[in-house]
Homo-oligomer: A and B are copies of this chain.
Amino acid sequence: MKLTPSSYLVLGMVRLGARSGYAIKKAADASTQAIWPTSLPQVYPELARLEGGGLVTRKDDPKGARARSAYRITDKGEAAFQSWLRSTRVGPLQFRDEGSLRLFFADALPREEQLALVKRLRERALREKNWLRGELIPQAESIPTDPRYPALVGRLGADSWAYWERWFARLEAQINRDGSTNDKTLES
């Protein structure tokens, strides 16, 4: 049985106490969305697979007339999860950004338009940072059972966006100053 990072996301959320598929998706939206997004049509088949492999168990848990399932992690599931956490192979980070791609080709634009593009990128960084600090991190801090790392990962994201914001702000200043972007680095 092959387990992907999405499998471990679902398994991990069950482990932290999310019982239904819906609850797992809700928890993921409030915490791991920025590092590993998922969707309901992915969660439900994944839960069925994990159940088939004996990593979680399912119980009927209707609320009134509304059908609902309650999942729990098994010992086998816990072992698989621990083994994943400890594995030394770090998969490659997947990154794709249309904004950065535009910047890559920005030599084709007049300076004014270059500036507008950089400004949009800086503003996006600001928006993302504010969303993480204002929405995601507070929610991550309220995750049950030892809630240290969820909030920490949120801070890593927020700090990274803050770094981008500063980086683009310096680039804007540089383009405004003399149009030269040939300095060795913009790193602080």
User: Which residues of A pack against B, CB within 8 Å?
Assistant: 5, 8-9, 12, 15, 31-32, 34-37, 81-82, 84-86, 88, 90-91, 93-109, 113, 116-117, 120-121, 124, 128, 145-150, 152-153, 155-156, 158-160, 162-164, 167, 171, 181-182, 185-188
Contact = CB atoms under 8 A, between A and B. Distances in A.
A75 to B, nearest CB: 14
Please name the 7 residue pairs, one residue from A and one from B, whose CB atoms are nearest each other, closest first.
A91-B98, A94-B96, A35-B100, A159-B187, A107-B146, A93-B97, A106-B149
Contact of A99 (B90, B101, B188): B90
A100 B153 contact: yes
Given A86-B109, A108-B81, A97 B36 contact: yes
Contact of A96 (B37, B109, B159, B182): B37
A96 B94 CA distance: 5
A147 B107 contact: yes
Give how many copies assemble into the complex. 2
Contacts of A81: 105, 108
A8 B101 contact: yes
